[in-house]
Chain A
């Protein structure tokens, strides 16, 4: 099977500042990808480049093996941007019908209503009279209008109340079950964890982790103990200790990766090794996640 999305060494500079730096990943059909990261991490910029709305400074994007701005690709994607704006002076159903006409095999109006949970009252309203939450729902319907194989949602649940949020994710899961590929950006750790089959974690324009929510959580818990040791201790002995995940050696300094540093330290002392300059470090993902959790508490 071919990748649905393929990104290679994507970089975007704004006035000399790198907003996105050397990002590479690919997405297989049926995946639900969360692009997770604190505000300003480069999530939206990356998404806009994927859609061909922003020109990368360097690097390449391919959707369905093709140019993201080609009509053939546009017929297979659905997009909901961060700021939903709708054509004014049209009723919701007129706007939806217009969008349906853009695609070769659109979803039926009934299906769109069913998936997004719009009411018939909303369908007959002019777009400028909708509330923020209703606009989002219409934006969602517009993204689905062409029955796309690949969906992009940039911060989709910002401005949704909890009921709307629930309905939205329920539909997304249903779409994924139908084999659609979904890519969404979020700064809510919880959302990424609940929905995504894979999380790509961004921080300061770079991908700092990429894996299933479980893998990410494990590597988050992973801490390291580093120390200097003159004795010619074999790496194998350290590796054989309980709870040790990995051991690195660099110029006489050992770094032991573990989820349980207390226990490993006790073992090291029990072995009566001459440790010098001991340091315990948290996983490198910690910082990024701290950002995310703090933000969640605020909002």
Chain B
């Protein structure tokens, strides 16, 4: 157990020391938030509501991105450089490596969520009952599970360039079609229909519901769980296939 804990701790340290993580997962989303609440969408009739709503979008956007990209690309990198090969001849169980990667990443997400929520409060004075803050944060943290699984799937790719390209495209497509950049309602009808079946919308929608004072819909949970299982199965399968050399 202490072996697993130490492995998680090391992952957290490593992510924090990575300047790209700080830039893409913290700085970028906050800059986005400022642009879309202070510059572009100024003077809306329900500005306060929009500010809170968009804060959730941007937090979800950040955590989703680091789940898919940071996790996946780092795994490909460690594999292609030969580090994971060396780990295979140590007593560290293979499952610990994956668990530590996901747990470590999630621990960092708690930090990201806090920072982004805090900047929402500081920049736009977003306020909610403490329970709602915690619920939102918890939802964004736990709801990222299918995206972490997607990161694992990206992690099975062979080249860093491929992994980085593919995950970037998926990430941005998911973010747009899921209404994380702009509300679903203003997207074309076709995109809306497709987006309804993709995980990003349901991820964001859970947090938006909480902001409105509701709870996430059952459908949101079901679709996220479905994608979690789907990505897990595919990534376990392709990993098995790769191992038999």
Interface residues of A (CB under 8 A from B): 51-55, 69, 71, 74-75, 77, 79, 81, 83-90, 94, 98-99, 101-103, 142, 146
Task: Say whether A102 contacts B86, CB under 8 Å.
Answer: no
Q: Smallest Cβ distance from A104 to chain B, in angstroms? A: 8
The answer, among B10, B81, B244, for a CB contact under 8 Å with A85, is B81
Contact A79–B82 (Cβ < 8 Å): no
Interface size range on B against A: 20 to 34
Verify B90–A83 contact, CB threshold 8 A: no
Taking CB atoms, residues of chain B closer than 8 Å to A101 are 2-3, 6
* B89 in contact with A51 (CB, 8 Å): yes
In contact, B86 and A79 (Cβ under 8 angstroms): yes
Question: Which B68-93 residues have a C-beta within 8 angstroms of A?
Answer: 78, 81-83, 85-86, 88-93
Q: Give the number of A-B contacts (CB < 8 Å).
A: 61
Expressed in whole angstroms, the Cα–Cα distance for A102 and B89 within the complex equals 11
Assuming the contacts A53-B85, A55-B244, A87-B83, asked whether A102 and B13 have C-beta atoms less than 8 A apart, the reply is: no
Query: What are the residues of chain B within 8 A of A99 when measuring CB–CB?
Result: 90
Residues of B within 8 A of A94 (CB): 10, 13
Q: Given the complex, which residues of A lie within 8 Å of B86, measured CB to CB?
A: 79, 81, 85, 142
Q: Which residues from A are CB-within-8-Å of B85? A: 53, 81
Contact in complex: A98, B7 (CB < 8 Å): yes
| A103 contact set on B, CB distance < 8 A | 90-91
Give A266 to B147 CA distance when docked, in angstroms. Answer: 83
Within the assembled complex, what's the spacing in Å between the Cα atoms of A90 and B2? 19
CA of A297 to CA of B7, assembled, Å: 45
Would A74 and B90 count as touching, CB distance under 8 A?
yes
Q: A55-B245, A90-B13, A98-B10 are in contact. Are A85 and B83 (CB under 8 A)?
A: yes
- Contact of B17 with A by CB under 8 A: yes
B93 touches A71 (CB 8 A): yes
Interface code B1-36, partner A: CB below 8 Å = 1, 0 otherwise? 011001100100110011000000000000000000
Question: Contacts A54-B245, A87-B14 hold; do A102 and B92 have CB atoms under 8 A apart?
Answer: yes
Determine the chain A residues whose CB is within 8 A of the CB of B91 once the complex forms: 71, 74-75, 102-103, 146
- Out of A55, A90, A98, A146, name the residue touching B6 (CB < 8 Å): A98
B78 to chain A, nearest CB (A): 7
Looking at the assembled complex, report how far the CB atom of A122 sits from the nearest CB atom of chain B, in whole angstroms: 18
Q: Bits for B150-167, please: 1 = Cβ < 8 Å to A, else 0.
A: 000000000000000000
Whether B10 contacts A90 by the Cβ 8 Å rule is yes
Can you list 7 residue pairs at the A/B interface with Cβ under 8 Å? A52-B89, A53-B88, A75-B91, A81-B82, A83-B81, A85-B86, A102-B90
Give the Cβ gap from A84 to chain B, nearest Cβ, in Å.
Answer: 8
Q: Known interface pairs A55-B245, A101-B2. Does A89 touch B92 (Cβ–Cβ under 8 Å)?
A: no
**A53-B7 CB under 8 A given contacts A87-B14, A87-B83:** no
Judge whether A89 and B82 touch: CB under 8 Å.
no
B31: min CB distance to chain A, Å: 24
